[in-house]
Structure 1
Amino acid sequence: MANPFQIDMSPETPELLAIAEKELRETPENRAKGLAELRDLLKKNSDLNYTDDEEFLVIILRVCHWYPESAIKLLRQMAEFRKEHEKVLKDLMPEQEKIPFTEGGIINVLTNKDHKNRRVLIVNNGEIWDPAVVSSDSMFRMFYLIHIMAQLEKTTQICGCIVIYDFEGLGMKQIKAMTPGTIQRLLTFIQVAMPLRLKEVHFVKQPFIFNMVWSLMKPFLNQKMKSRMHFHGDDMSKLHKFVPPEYLPKNYGGTMPEINYSGKDWFSAIEGHNDFFAKYKEFGFKK
Structure 2
Amino acid sequence: MSEKFCLQLTLSDNAKSIAEKDLNETEENVKNALIQLKELLENDKTIYYKIDDEFLKIFLRPCKFYATSAYELMKRIANFRAKYKTLLYDLVPSQERDAIVNHNLINVLPDRDQLGRRVMIVYCGENWNTSKVSSDQIFRLFYLIHLLAILEPDTQINGTVVIMDYKGMGLKQVAALTPAFSMKLLGFIQDAMPLRLKEIHMVNNPWIFKTVWAVFKPFIKEKLGKRIHFHENKMPSLHKFIDKSYLPKNYGGDLPEINYGGKEWYPVMEKHIDHIKEWNTYGLVEK
Give the equivalent residue in structure 2 for 1:154.
153
1:145 match? 144
- What do residues 150-187 of structure 1 show as CA deviations (whole Å, max 9, x unaligned)? 00111101100100000000000001111100011000
1:270 aligns with 2:269: yes
- 2:249 maps to what in 1? 250
Deviations 1:163-214 (A, max 9, x none): 0000000000001111100011000100000000000000000000000010
TM-fit CA distance, 1:112? 1.1
Divergent runs of 4+, >6 A: none
Distance, in Å, in 2 between the alignment partners of 1:267 and 1:2 is: 12
Structure 2 match to 1:47? 46
User: 1:68 is aligned with what amino acid?
Assistant: A
The CA distance in 1 between the partners of 2:256 and 2:82, in whole Å, is 42
- 2:58 paired residue number: 59
Counterpart position of 1:79: 78
SS in 2 for 1:169: coil
Q: How many residues align?
A: 286
| CA deviation vs aligned residue, 1:116-137 (integer Å, no higher than 9, x gap) | 0100000000010011111111
Q: Deviations over 1:206-237 (max 9, x none)?
A: 00000001000111000000000000000000
SS in 2 for 1:91: coil
* Counterpart in the other structure of 1:203: 202
Paired residue secondary structure (1:256): coil
Which residue of structure 2 aligns with residue 32 of structure 1?
31
Q: Which residue of 2 aligns with 1:216?
A: 215
Q: State the AA in 2 paired with 1:281.
A: N
User: Which secondary structure does the structure 2 equivalent of 1:230 belong to?
Assistant: strand
Paired position in structure 1 for 2:111: 112
Does residue 7 of structure 1 match 2:7?
Answer: yes
Structure 1: 5+ residue stretches without partners:
none
Instruction: Give the secondary structure class of the aligned counterpart of 1:176.
Output: helix
Q: How far apart in 1 are the matches of 2:152 and 2:248?
A: 22
Whether contact under 8 Å (2:12, 2:154) holds in the other structure is no
1:182 corresponds in structure 2 to 181
For 2:102 and 2:2, the matched residues in 1 are separated by 25
Q: Residue type of the partner of 1:110?
A: L
Secondary structure class of the residue paired with 1:132: coil
Q: CA deviation at 1:284?
A: 0.6
Cα deviation, 1:45-99, whole Å, max 9, x if unaligned, reads 1110111111210111001100000001000000110011111111101111111
Quote the residue 1:170 is aligned against.
169
Supply the RMSD in Å over aligned alpha carbons.
1.0
| Alignment-mate amino acid for residue 95 of structure 1 | S
Per-residue deviation, 1:2: 6.4
| One-letter amino acid of the structure 2 residue matched with residue 218 of structure 1 | K
Q: Does 1:226 align with 2:225?
A: yes
Q: Secondary structure at the match of 2:143?
A: helix
Cα displacement (A) at 1:13 = 2.9
Residue 95 (structure 1) aligned with residue 94 (structure 2): yes
Letter in 1 for 2:210: N
Within 1, Cα distance between the matches of 2:179 and 2:164? 18
Q: Kindly, what percent of the aligned residue pairs are identical?
A: 46
Compute the TM-score of the two structures, normalised by the length of structure 1. 0.98
Matched, 1:132 2:109: no
How far apart in 1 are the matches of 2:12 and 2:3?
Answer: 21
Q: Distance in 2 between matches of 1:252 and 1:75?
A: 36
